Chains A and B, each alone.
Chain A
Amino acid sequence: MEIRGKAWKFGDHIDTDVIIPARYLNTSDPYELAAHCMEDADPEFVKKVSKGDIIVAGENFGCGSSREHAPIAIKYAGVSCVIAKSFARIFYRNAINTGLPIIEAPDAVDRIEEGDEIEVFLEEGKIINHTKKEEYSFEPLPEFMMKLLTSGGLIPFVRERLAKKGA
């Protein structure tokens, strides 16, 4: 999984209503959702973001509702990873379950500026800031969650579990 792109910075407590407003929840089409990603924080976001880019945010990213539409909107907007100081818990598990890499790295968030070219190595727990020529580290995910993430989320994992039971 290559994770490399430009950083887009956001503040603390970016909630799920900002990530994908409820007025668009009458669909579950990932591309339709992605078209409104972060709209209430930055209406231009989806126009500016390019494939592989990274969201860098403050504390409690994804707080609020349990809508999985939030990580899905981010993922299908082309964002390859979210780095934050901390995440709200339902968003955290939804991101892992849907295969959107997320990283808790408070120090990195303080250093990274908007537009910096960032590369992330999930398993090594390493972030490289190519613009600033800096390196930051973070605690890699526990093994079980890493497995979920790298196998593409919860669905392949459960499919395998069900198949085993059936056999």
Chain B
Amino acid sequence: MGMTIAEKILAAKAGKDSVKPGELIMARIDVALANDVTAPLAIKAFEDVGAEDVFDRERIALVPDHFTPNKDIKAAQQAKMVREFAYKYWIKWYFEVGRVGIEHALLPEQGIVVPGDLVIGADSHTCTYGALGAFATGVGSTDLGCAMATGEVWLKVPYTLRFNIEGKKRPYVTGKDIILHIIGMIGVDGARYRAMEFGGSVIRELCMDERFTICNMAIEAGGKTGIIEPDDITKEYVKERAQREPVYYTSDEDASYEKVYDVDISNLEPVVALPHLPENVKPVREVNDIEIDQVVIGSCTNGRITDLRQAAEVLKGRKVHPRVRLIVIPATQKIWEQAMEEGLFKIFVEAGAAISCPTCGPCLGGHMGILAEGERAVATTNRNFVGRMGHPKSEVYLASPYVAAASAVAGRIAHPDEL
């Protein structure tokens, strides 16, 4: 019986010829990741198990991106603890403010994660790297701390759901709309414990940035990982970056899937996920009288150069609505530089937007744009839970960079066509 790409990677890392869904395995990891929120607990776990050294200083990434530049004294203490650990063990992939970016944009960009890897991260959006053809999944800090000591992790082999995305994309339809549409279709637990494998002609034509967006939000459907078989576009992306030799796995013809979804997106229009669950997905045109206070364009979901270009396309020559605050957050320093060189910042600033240094910031209600009671935001982020971006009585609407930019101009949730 054939195997899916997810099963092949897990089998290889468990040192087995094959694995089956439901099987518990001990697997070798290629990269272990933590951030300034999750690393302190992981470091504590690392110390508690009595480890004397990390398993491999070149395979650990510590990325202080959530509350940095340090938002308060407590955050500064946490960041300091991560820094001291990184120095003590000569961790190769530690990034200081000024070099740091949002972890899930940074690691692929720097070639720290490569196709064929097994990656665990103490952050739920670790599933993003599946877009490279890696098996990447979020774990807790204890898992991560133990893995930093041993280089291994216990995993249950997940069943795989296959999504064939076909049809012709309409204008302004992006990877974000596709993944929101799928989450709306199967629900926030529709892929619970499952690997979500995305394929079909639409995926094959998407650039890496939009593929990352899709895999990033697998967790919002409860998925263990999102994964896309590597192709020429993947190889092109990896070529100049890979820090290690990639291994390109694909699913066998006779691989067995728990379920196959055929999704035709020919009629899909830009969508928005209403509060307070990512599954509350509606076409933008059906919700366009909702007034907003803030727009955030950034995060590990949509803070890459493609996203900023899309936002700039809409904002060019236009002004942000007088009542609205638009905050643009490039996800990494490199993206920041690229956006600056391409003249995107001029467009943003002339429109009346604020541009931040790379940080998770408002995405998790950390800093740099917290919402007050009763305020509404359109965000290109991934979660619209109660209180996610600030006050428990504030609201977050999830959308693509096109829709976010159009909404910033209109002062209400808007389709770019309406401007």
Contact = CB atoms under 8 A, between A and B. Distances in A.
Nearest to B76: A26
- Most interface-central of B140, B188, B392 (chain A CB within 10 A): B140
A68 B154 contact: no
Give the secondary structure class of B's interface.
loop
B222 A60 contact: yes
Contacts of B40: 28
A158 B222 CA distance: 27
B51 interface: yes
Contacts of B365: 17, 21-23
A94 B388 contact: no
Contacts of A94: 139-140, 142-143
Given A26-B72, A60-B222, A66 B41 contact: no
Interface stretch (A48-56, A84-92, A124-132): A84-92
Interface string B134-160: 000011111100100110001000000
Contact of A162 (B45, B126, B150, B385): B150
A25 B37 contact: yes
B76 to A, nearest CB: 9
Interface residues of B, number: 50
A157 B195 CA distance: 27
Interface string B221-243: 01010000000000000000000
Contacts, number: 132
Interface string B389-402: 00010000000000
A124 to B, nearest CB: 22
Contact of B38 (A17, A64, A68): A68
A94 to B, nearest CB: 4
B192 A28 contact: no
Contacts of A21: 365, 387, 392
B143 A93 contact: yes
B372 interface: no
Contacts of A153: 142
Given A60-B188, A158-B150, A17 B141 contact: no
Interface of B: 24, 37-38, 40-41, 44-45, 48-51, 66-67, 71-72, 74-75, 78, 121-124, 126, 138-143, 146, 149-150, 154, 188-189, 192-193, 219, 222, 224, 277, 364-366, 383, 385-388, 392
5 contacts: A22-B365, A26-B75, A65-B383, A67-B140, A68-B38
Interface of A: 13, 15, 17-18, 21-23, 25-28, 40-41, 59-60, 63-69, 71, 86, 88-90, 93-94, 97-98, 142, 144, 153-155, 158-159, 161-163
Given A13-B277, A26-B67, A66-B38, 10 more contacts: A18-B385, A60-B222, A65-B124, A65-B383, A66-B124, A89-B222, A94-B143, A97-B140, A155-B49, A163-B50
